[in-house]
């Protein structure tokens, strides 16, 4: 009987903003480590590396209540290249900002702050997802796989080609016997 591999749950990393006891106009810059859950893009799984990503969190208390938040970090995203399927690990730089001013309208209400508690894990994961390039590649000039024989065009080179097959729509005309 096969046993299913257990996935260790990602611990939600809530940060207590009220515990900083910031007065209006005051701010703090903190160095923290945050786990980032794997991302699934186009049915492929991508994992942020390292497991605990070092982040810089800047928190400022605004006059009238609320917080201005900034999250910065760099992480490698390890997974398959969308062109050749080899392992890709591009470095992704994230610089995200959030504002939380309760009662000031939906656009100023951060989904990551509830009762002066910041869900840092969810924010880091979402910020990483938004910072991703359109395609995850092993290298910028990845040539991909040959659509006919699936050869790795990075290794096969530009001389790799196939004779083009005749267009099947013209097959009946080739049966004609003209004298």
How does pLDDT run along the chain (179 residues), one tens digit per residue? 333 333 334 445 788 898 888 888 889 999 999 999 999 988 899 999 888 999 999 999 988 888 999 999 999 999 999 999 999 999 999 999 999 988 777 778 899 998 889 999 999 999 999 999 999 999 999 999 988 888 888 888 778 888 887 888 888 888 888 77
In a domain, 78, yes or no: yes
| Residue linked to tokens 């790799």 | 160
Q: Which domain holds residue 117?
A: 14-142
**What's the number of domains the chain is made of?**
1
Nearest Cα to 52, choosing from 33, 38, 70? 33
Q: What is the pTM of this model?
A: 0.77
- Yes or no: say if 94 and 128 are a contact pair by the CB < 8 Å rule: yes
In a domain, 62, yes or no: yes
């Amino acid at each position: 009987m096969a046993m299913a591999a257990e996935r260790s749950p990602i611990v939600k990393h809530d940060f207590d903003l009220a515990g900083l006891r910031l007065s209006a106009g005051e701010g703090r810059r903190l160095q923290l480590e945050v786990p980032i859950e794997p991302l699934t893009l186009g049915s492929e799984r991508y994992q942020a590396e390292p497991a605990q990503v070092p982040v810089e969190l800047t928190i400022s208390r605004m006059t009238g209540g609320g917080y201005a938040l900034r999250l910065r970090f760099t992480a490698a995203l390890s997974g398959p290249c969308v062109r050749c399927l080899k392992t890709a690990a591009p470095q992704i730089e994230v610089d995200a900002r959030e504002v939380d001013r309760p009662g000031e309208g939906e656009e100023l209400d951060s989904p990551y702050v509830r009762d002066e508690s910041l869900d840092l894990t969810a924010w880091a994961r979402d910020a990483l997802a938004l910072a991703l390039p359109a395609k995850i590649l092993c290298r910028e000039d990845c040539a991909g796989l040959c659509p006919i024989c699936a050869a790795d065009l990075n290794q096969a080179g530009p001389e790799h080609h196939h004779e083009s097959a005749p267009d099947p729509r013209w097959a009946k005309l080739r049966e004609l016997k003209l004298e």
